[in-house]
Structure 1
Amino acid sequence: MRTRGVAGAVACAVAGLVAGCGPTPAEEYGEALFRDSRLSTSQYNAFSCATCHATSSEQARDKLYTGLSLVGVASRPHWWGGYEVTLLDAVNFCYTAFMRGTAPLEAEDAKSRALYEYMVGLSPQPDSPAQPFTLVRDITDVPRGDARRGAEVYRAACQDCHGEVRTGKGRLTALAPVLPDVAHEYHPLFPNSTPGLVFIEKVRHGRFFGVGGNMPPYSREALSDEDLGALLAWLGL
């Protein structure tokens, strides 16, 4: 699957992703794909790979990403907490579940090969340890924390997609609900749950377990219960 060159004609076929029509190195093309939501052709997709994944330790300090850091990703033994055992399958899980891709990327697709080369460039060591990924299956309430910390958590974890609190200004897509105002819709839909529990389930389950939407879930490694409790306090839920 490794290749160090992608023909310029292939790069130019994806409009606007890479400027110019000369031969483009695969790693460079892969980075452009990684950062562009048009990797998925769905008109409803607003996510790029970069929306959910850091590619440096500096980025990981500034934001609370739903996805794990991709430093060393190509040399891990498995992904998604062991649920995926090939890198392409791990990529396609994100691509189809969250980016609304209509069909998985094929191994010999130029996009797959370029993304692979980019991820190899993020993986200088021949072997990297598997990263833990703990999905919270059974939802329970969490103690509310410091609202001041909650404001920091919102900025680091939520604002890029949902925009500013109560206005949604700057949100990634109109499909992302305005927080915490969307909680007013919870009672008719979930009459036996509190708004806080519904919010926790959305954060912890994302689109899974019948919740819907296409938000990725926050694992315990990505967002602690303490930070989740602080976020709930900040949002008044």
Structure 2
Amino acid sequence: MVVGLGVGVARGRHDGVDTIWGLGFAVIAVVGLLVSGSGWLVTAMTVLWGVRLAVHIQLRNGRRPEDPRYVALMDRATGNPHWYAFRKVYLLQGVIMWFVSWPVQAAQYETSTGVLTWVGVAVWLVGLGFESVGDRQLSRFKADPANQGKIMDRGLWRYTRHPNYFGDACVWWGLYLVACQHWIGALTVLSPLVMTLFLTRGTGKALTERAMRDRPGFAEYVARTSGFFPLPPKREGTR
């Protein structure tokens, strides 16, 4: 996070912290592997998820101006603006990252595999698929000028308004199930719960929909499409 702050100061924008989010988990997983000497499976799962997310976000943000959230944050800064950004963004996200990664750290001391291990891998694969495909579909939709101002309601977005966030939640519940092979890992249940709350009620779904609520067609999209878990779209006239 300190390195990320330095890059943000040099660039004059702080949305790079979104890229660091995925890379940070990958770093934690690699360091945990070096310390524990075991846990190749859970390390590979975390690194693959984190690097893919980081690349996707960097490619997306690189074509845009500074994220309005960070512009507003810097406008509220008191004292040194970069120190303010470090406390309010980088340090806070670093602490959350450390807490959410507990299942990964616990699983790296597991030397045996069992049913929960492979159930966790299956849930993780579902999550990675939803997140990757959903991100790709949305990127292609936005790249078409004919879709300017329209609501994405195709592909996975037809069944859930947030396939990327749903996939993200599945990834962390999958990692938690891998950790549950041992009772110590089972004690880290607050980590995926906190991540899921962030995705559904914090900076994920809730914040995104607040920014989109005045867009034409969004109310109709909400009425027929599940908010998080993938479900068949509601037919017109049904509740």
TM-score, length of structure 2 as denominator length: 0.28
- Structure richer in helix, relative to its length: 2
Normalised by the size of structure 1, how large is the TM-score? 0.28
